[in-house]
């Protein structure tokens, strides 16, 4: 019997056409670059999860989560994990720097073009492409 999906959220912070990514330290996405995020805790809304996980992994207090897209992610490896991922765009003060914490390492700012070349989950690459297309339309 397949496991029921787990709720998860991630958060996209953009500054000057660059997006904050962290490198995951632990499975299921160890060593991949991703937007900060993770599993929901009991009673949390997806937006609350996004803000909490972003803070835990970067030390940045974000605000104004706006749902950007969702993904239904199923993995054949790692025990067949299944996540319903909500991805939010967020705001944060411009003068705060990311500090890797929790499950995160190596925070950095990347353009959509750079993200195409990084080892990252398909959902991250897809979000970067969508964001680049939105920026091109402005």
- Model pLDDT, residue 91: 96
**How do the residues of the chain divide into helix, strand and coil, expressed in percent and rounded to 5?**
25, 35, 40
Question: Domain range holding 15?
Answer: 6-137
CATH number at residue 89: 3.90.79.10
The region of weakest confidence among 38-42, 74-78, 99-103 is: 74-78
- Model pLDDT, residue 74: 84
Tell me the pLDDT band of 134, cut-offs 50, 70 and 90: confident
pLDDT exceeds cutoff 70 at 71? yes
Question: Cβ(12)–Cβ(88) under 8 Å?
Answer: yes
124 CB burial (10 A radius; 0-12, 13-18, 19+): buried
Residue 41 inside a domain? The answer is yes
**What is the distance between the terminal CA atoms of the chain, rounded to a whole angstrom?**
47
The dihedral built from the CA positions of residue 45, 48, 54 and 56, taken in this order, carries a sign that is negative
Residue 21 inside a domain? The answer is yes
Q: What is the pLDDT of residues 88-127, one digit of tens each?
A: 999 999 888 888 887 778 889 999 999 999 999 999 999 9
Query: What domain count does the chain have?
Result: 1
Cβ-based neighbours of 138, under 8 Å, separated by 6 or more: none
């Amino acid at each position: 019997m397949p496991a029921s999906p787990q709720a998860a959220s991630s958060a996209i912070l953009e500054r000057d056409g660059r997006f904050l990514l962290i490198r995951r330290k632990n499975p299921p996405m160890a060593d991949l670059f991703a937007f900060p995020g993770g599993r929901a805790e009991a009673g949390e809304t997806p937006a609350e999860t996004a803000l909490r996980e972003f803070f835990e992994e970067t030390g940045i207090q974000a605000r104004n989560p706006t749902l950007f897209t969702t993904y239904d992610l199923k993995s054949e490896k790692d025990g067949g994990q299944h996540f319903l991922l909500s991805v939010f765009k967020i705001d944060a003060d411009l003068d705060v720097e990311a500090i890797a914490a929790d499950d995160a390492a190596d925070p950095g700012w990347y353009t959509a073009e750079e993200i195409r070349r990084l080892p990252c989950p398909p959902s991250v690459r897809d979000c970067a492409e969508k964001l680049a297309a939105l920026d091109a339309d402005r």
